[in-house]
Chains A and B, each alone.
Chain A
Amino acid sequence: MAAALPAVSAGFQAVMPSMEFLLASGIGAVTSCGLWLLLRGRSFSVVLGLAVLGYAVNVFIFVMGRLWRNAPAILGQGPLLADPLPQALVLTAIVIGFATTGFLIELALRSSHDNGSDHVDGREPGAASTAAQADAQAAAHNPEPPA
């Protein structure tokens, strides 16, 4: 392909940024999304943030085995073979990440059910901790309608 259309290929390569640049900035963007979600107050966003962060980390592990072109993944003939170890590592990390995310979703559901709030602190921000204060606050927010 490249041999047949040298001009097109060269032009394409001049426009396209390198794979290394794309992957690095992609991992960075996904990581920052994950971090932003992680710092939210709702447990739903936090779970999503952890999942997104997990994706970024998994791609990062994969890339740490370097980028390969025209190389068989594990077995094959030829001068080049891709590094199989990061593939094994990332598989382990994916399995563990999947299991812990499942556990965390269940825990977040249980927490929001038992505490009556899906805030990570287990109560709504600004909500009073004791029932008496909560009542007082509710009364302050909902004054009796004038007769």
Chain B
Amino acid sequence: MNLLQSHGPVLPVLLPAATAILLLLLGDGGGSAHGRRPQLARRIALVSVLLGGALALALMAQADTGRIAVYRLGDWPAPFGIVLVLDRLSALMLALTAAVALPVLLYASGGWDAHGRYFQALLQCQLMGLNGAFLTGDLFNLFVFFEVLLVASYALMLHGGGADRLRAGLPYVVLNLVASALFLVGAALVYATTGTLNLADLALRVPQVLGPDAVLLRAAALLLLVVFGFKAALAPLSLWLPATYAAASAPVAALFAIMTKVGVYAILRVHGVVFGLTATAATATASDSAAGAAQPLLLPLALATCVIGVLGALAAGTLARLVAWLTVASVGTVLAAVGLFTPAGWAAGLYYMAHSTLIVAGLFLLAELLGAQRGDAGGRLVPASPVAQPALLGTLLLLAAASCAGLPPLPGFIGKILLLQASASHPGGPALWAVVLGVGFLTLISLARAGSLLFWQVQHAPAGGASGTVPAGASGRLLAATLMLLGASVALSVWAAPLLRYTAAAANQLGDRAAYANAVLPELGGAAARSTQPYTGRPGTTGAAR
């Protein structure tokens, strides 16, 4: 417990990093599924992910006291050194990552991890990047953790090999590298105009930048919106996602369900807080500063994302593509909630994000289980032989579909109704209501169409035919992983009240820039700090410490 108090925020980064190094040193026995080493690697990875989950829950409990834990890497004070910051939002994202990682690991240990090399080590690297991105309090460090998780995701996406996967993988990698270049340009512009990269310091500084510098800063904010919007699959930049996710193996696609949420998190942190409109900035000078640069853009783009996603889902030809398009639609809903820029909207959005991440990850796993039992048809949405376990898998699909579409009493319904309530007095409210309700209906249609095709419109093989082999049912480990994800989503409904209280507190904490600054910049006087100026090179005129 003492370790948790003093070094809590750095542990979720160190644990997967150490595990990844250990797994790399252990080797993977040439990629075979049998033998002692792969089994040992699975056990080590499982222990690490379980520890990570317990750690995330402990940190969530710690963050829920309202204290913002700050960890200084290298013990340099805040605007000069890099800090990790653990607040309620970060802890929630850590817990969500762990909740997706455990079933994904179980599912992959059912055989997928042996289809290529070093799956377990790469998975740990990905977790390290994800946890780091959720914890860091520095814009450039966010870039570094983005790169860590992206490099791991490139290798994971190509896991299993094959020409199709390579064909989808090359554009994915190239597009992400272009986005990284834009991130660097945006971060450099932010530094040039404000003289700081620390998020708490930036939040104080951004409203004070006026004149020609504010124009540059506004450009930087919009560049960063392009980058984060690309990761989150925001409307004009969402077309890469279905091809990539549908081509990836099922456990990897399920893990990637959390990757779009990194983009959402970054938009919330950077555009919601750092570039968000504050009470003090909402004066006559607000129109001159860069604050609120992304504010008018986010809601329309998010609603367009919803519409594109659900239309893609209606037109999808395979089950995996259908789920991938539903991922786009769900991200659109979450971003619409973020785009309201009110604490109530954010609270609803965070709850919906937790639900949609789990349900989409579960659907990706379920899609592969279904595809594996349909013979040659696989995941294609055409009439084919019946699946081996229609009752079990059908019930799971029904449950997931109902929650995805937002039917009561499942968590999708709770999230959507909160979102509708939060947007009631917003000028964009009518558009949001129309889109969210319409998208829910169309989601239901697309999944109902897929479900009836999979389970009812089946072609029974002619007796004595060549294809008389009955596909075997899914193995227990794969089913357990899928059940765990979908069950976790139901648990969100059962424990909705404490979770909603938590997300509401997290949203309020996000809005409280003064408390954030007080925690991160105590030496400078917290929110009352004389803010950093761009470096001019002359001693006595630089920095906030003078």
- Using a CB–CB cutoff of 8 Å, the interface residues on chain A facing chain B are 38, 43, 46, 50, 53-54, 57, 60-61, 64-66, 68, 71, 79-83, 85-86, 89, 92-93, 96, 99-100, 103-104, 107-108, 110-111, 114-115, 120-123
Main secondary structure of the interface of A (DSSP, over half): helix
In this complex, what residue of B is CB-closest to A118? Answer: B170
A89 close to B185 (CB less than 8 A): no
A107 close to B170 (CB less than 8 A): yes
A81 close to B537 (CB less than 8 A): yes
A89 close to B188 (CB less than 8 A): yes
Q: Does B173 contact A (CB under 8 A)?
A: yes
A64 close to B174 (CB less than 8 A): no
Find A115's partner among B166, B189, B192 (CB 8 Å cutoff). Answer: B166
Residues of A within 8 A of B140 (CB): 89, 92
Find A107's partner among B144, B158, B185, B191 (CB 8 Å cutoff). Answer: B158
Residues of B within 8 A of A108 (CB): 170
B537 close to A80 (CB less than 8 A): yes
Q: Does B46 contact A (CB under 8 A)?
A: no
Cα distance A114–B537 when bound, in Å? 54
A43 close to B170 (CB less than 8 A): yes
A111 close to B181 (CB less than 8 A): no
B171 close to A86 (CB less than 8 A): no
Given contact pairs A89-B140, A111-B167, A104 touches B177 in the complex (Cβ within 8 A): yes
Cα distance A110–B158 when bound, in Å? 11
A104 close to B166 (CB less than 8 A): no
Find A114's partner among B166, B184, B538 (CB 8 Å cutoff). Answer: B166
In this complex, what residue of A is CB-closest to B148? Answer: A96
Cα distance A142–B171 when bound, in Å? 33
Q: Does B288 contact A (CB under 8 A)?
A: no
Cα distance A99–B537 when bound, in Å? 33
Q: Does B169 contact A (CB under 8 A)?
A: yes
B154 close to A103 (CB less than 8 A): yes
**Could you show 13 A-B contacts with beta carbons less than 8 Å apart?**
A38-B178, A57-B181, A57-B185, A65-B191, A66-B537, A68-B537, A71-B537, A81-B539, A93-B184, A104-B177, A115-B167, A120-B174, A121-B167
Q: How far is the CB of A116 from chain B (nearest CB, A)?
A: 9
B189 close to A64 (CB less than 8 A): yes
Residues of B within 8 A of A68 (CB): 537
Residues of B within 8 A of A82 (CB): 537
Q: Does B163 contact A (CB under 8 A)?
A: yes
Q: Does B147 contact A (CB under 8 A)?
A: yes
Q: Does B388 contact A (CB under 8 A)?
A: no
Q: Residues of B within 8 Å of A, CB-based: how many?
A: 32
In this complex, what residue of A is CB-closest to B161? Answer: A114
15 further interface pairs, Cβ-Cβ under 8 Å (given A43-B170, A103-B151, A111-B166): A53-B178, A61-B184, A65-B535, A66-B537, A81-B537, A82-B537, A89-B187, A92-B144, A100-B147, A103-B173, A107-B154, A111-B167, A120-B171, A120-B174, A121-B167
A83 close to B189 (CB less than 8 A): no
Residues of A within 8 A of B539 (CB): 79, 81
Residues of A within 8 A of B197 (CB): 85
A122 close to B151 (CB less than 8 A): no
A85 close to B538 (CB less than 8 A): no
Find A111's partner among B154, B169, B180 (CB 8 Å cutoff). Answer: B169
Per the 8 Å Cβ criterion, residues 181-226 of B in contact with A are 181, 184-185, 187-189, 191-192, 197
Given contact pairs A71-B537, A79-B538, A104-B173, A64 touches B188 in the complex (Cβ within 8 A): yes
Residues of B within 8 A of A46 (CB): 174
- Of residues A53, A64, A83, A92, which shows the largest number of chain B Cβ atoms within 10 Å of its Cβ? A64
In this complex, what residue of B is CB-closest to A43? Answer: B170
In this complex, what residue of A is CB-closest to B150? Answer: A100
A104 close to B181 (CB less than 8 A): no
B181 close to A54 (CB less than 8 A): yes
Q: How far is the CB of B412 from chain A (nearest CB, A)?
A: 36
In this complex, what residue of B is CB-closest to A113? Answer: B166
A86 close to B191 (CB less than 8 A): yes
Residues of B within 8 A of A100 (CB): 147, 151, 173, 177, 180
Cα distance A93–B184 when bound, in Å? 8
Cα distance A123–B181 when bound, in Å? 27
A64 close to B151 (CB less than 8 A): no
Cα distance A93–B144 when bound, in Å? 9
Q: How far is the CB of B128 from chain A (nearest CB, A)?
A: 15
Cα distance A60–B181 when bound, in Å? 11
Find B177's partner among A50, A64, A71, A81 (CB 8 Å cutoff). Answer: A50
A64 close to B181 (CB less than 8 A): no
A60 close to B170 (CB less than 8 A): no
Residues of A within 8 A of B535 (CB): 65-66, 83, 85
Contact flags B138-181 to A (C-beta < 8 A → 1, else 0): 00100010010001001000100111001101110110011011
Given contact pairs A71-B537, A89-B188, A96-B147, A107 touches B177 in the complex (Cβ within 8 A): no
B537 close to A107 (CB less than 8 A): no
A122 close to B166 (CB less than 8 A): yes
- Of residues A46, A79, A107, which shows the largest number of chain B Cβ atoms within 10 Å of its Cβ? A107
In this complex, what residue of A is CB-closest to B174? Answer: A46
Residues of B within 8 A of A85 (CB): 191, 197, 535
A61 close to B188 (CB less than 8 A): yes
Per the 8 Å Cβ criterion, residues 306-343 of B in contact with A are none
Task: Kindly list the 9 A-B residue pairs having the minimum CB-CB distance in the complex, ordered from nearest.
Answer: A122-B167, A64-B192, A64-B188, A61-B188, A83-B535, A111-B166, A114-B163, A80-B537, A57-B181
Given contact pairs A38-B178, A103-B173, A120-B174, A60 touches B185 in the complex (Cβ within 8 A): yes
Cα distance A54–B178 when bound, in Å? 9
Residues of B within 8 A of A61 (CB): 184-185, 187-188
Residues of A within 8 A of B174 (CB): 38, 46, 50, 104, 120
Residues of A within 8 A of B191 (CB): 64-65, 85-86, 89
Cα distance A16–B147 when bound, in Å? 40
Q: How far is the CB of A42 from chain B (nearest CB, A)?
A: 11
